[in-house]
Amino acid sequence: MAQSSFCLWNDSPDIDTTVTIGGLCADSFCVEIQVPLRRNIDIDLLRTFVSIVETGSFTRTAERMLRTQSAVSLQVKRLEDALGISLFERGSKPVRISADGEMLLVHARRVLAANDAMVAQMLEPEVRGVVRIGVSDHFSALHLTGLAARFVRAYPQVSLQITCDVESVLASKFADGEFDLMFGQSIASPRRASPAKDGVTRLWHEPMVWFGRDALTTRDKASIPLVVPPAGSTERSAATKTLDGHGRPWHISYASTSTLGLHPAVAAGLGVAALPRSAVDNGTGNHGGIRVLDADSGLPPLPDVEVMLHRGGGAGVAAQRMGDFITAALVGKETP
């Protein structure tokens, strides 16, 4: 806390400024108060920090930012001193981010994305073009549609073309250059985040869960009835591999053409399904007669998933702005 003081005095005999403080009266007095100390972090320090995480190297960051390696190291030291934390585990090869660094990374990416989007919108209000986006259907319904509407209001000369499909199809089309941006998800490592890659931003991390009808138990079932999305989806692969890994027999009782089609089949009691937690109930715990199933259901735990935003190498200005817009809104988002 920083300390500030002020004085109040009366030079005019015609004005009564007598003030009572703690039972004492005075015509003039000084008061010392405490106010929070606010620290402003240089955004260039945050940009350097994020670049080191993304490249995994002080040397490559220096090359990317046209600085010497010693200058990059000094910027990291300034940021650590300003926050009173260590951002990297010293002596590790390759560079390994610390727990405090992981926490800062979420905020740093959000700050940089918001800064870049603000500057771009102020300096380039007439951005034009078409942005092609690939996304799975439940992510589109939960996370992208509202963002897309806000983006086109901010950039009315930009047209969005959004395609929903399963991850394997989206990844193939993205590799062929059919998308400028793509939402992707993968099974998260139980020990650490996936290594950073150029053109890929890790948006958030959340648990995958089983869901089924109320009071459902699978302990007495010889074979687990599964309600699954199309082949090639992360959810279907996670469900079957998890059951196989725990020696639990299973069969497909209902196969949907989309993840959004899982809910009515599960609500009808046709089986259980696996989805990221936010796609099941949006955090309410119960939705339309279905619920997240805990260990009492007899089902083995599912892995967590990571959600990433992939940017195409030849993306234009409009796609870059949309990518920044998405990142500012979704990096580190709270998940149930």
Please name the fold of domain 128-336.
D-Maltodextrin-Binding Protein; domain 2 (3.40.190)
Helix, strand, coil shares of the chain, percent, nearest 5, are: 40, 25, 35
Confidence of residue 216 (pLDDT cuts 50, 70, 90): low
Q: Where in the chain is the domain with CATH 3.40.190.290?
A: 128-336
Q: 84-119, pLDDT tens digit by residue?
A: 999 998 777 778 899 999 899 989 988 888 887 787
Q: Which of 78, 43, 39, 44 is nearest to 61 (CA)?
A: 44
Alpha helices in the chain (DSSP H): 43-55, 58-64, 69-83, 99-123, 137-139, 145-154, 167-175, 234-245, 262-267, 277-281, 317-330
CA–CA separation, 230 and 238 (whole Å): 13
43-123 CATH choice from 1.10.3720.10, 1.10.10.10, 1.20.910.10, 3.40.50.2300: 1.10.10.10
CA–CA separation, 165 and 274 (whole Å): 17
CB-based contact 201:306 (threshold 8 Å): no
If one compares 185 and 287, the residue with the highest pLDDT of the two is 185
pLDDT, residue 202, reads 85
Query: Which helix (H) or strand (E) element contains residue 292?
Result: strand 290-292
Q: 1-47, pLDDT tens digit by residue?
A: 454 444 444 454 554 444 444 444 445 555 555 555 677 899 999 99
pLDDT, residue 30, reads 53
Cβ contacts of residue 232 below 8 Å, gap of 6+? 166, 167, 168, 169
Instruction: Compute the mean pLDDT over every residue in the chain, rounded to the nearest whole number.
Output: 80
pLDDT, residue 277, reads 86
If one compares 315 and 322, the residue with the highest pLDDT of the two is 322
Range of lowest pLDDT (8-22, 140-154, 246-260, 310-324): 8-22
Q: 228-242, pLDDT tens digit by residue?
A: 998 888 899 999 999
Q: Which of 219, 221, 186, 218 is nearest to 205 (CA)?
A: 186
Q: Where in the chain is the domain with CATH 1.10.10.10?
A: 43-123
Q: Mean per-residue pLDDT for 176-200?
A: 76
If one compares 66 and 311, the residue with the highest pLDDT of the two is 311
CA 33 vs CA 1, 4, 7, 25: distances in Å: 10, 5, 11, 19
pTM reported for the whole predicted model: 0.64
Confidence of residue 281 (pLDDT cuts 50, 70, 90): low
pLDDT, residue 209, reads 93
pLDDT, residue 4, reads 46
Tokens representing residue 30 in the block:
């000084």
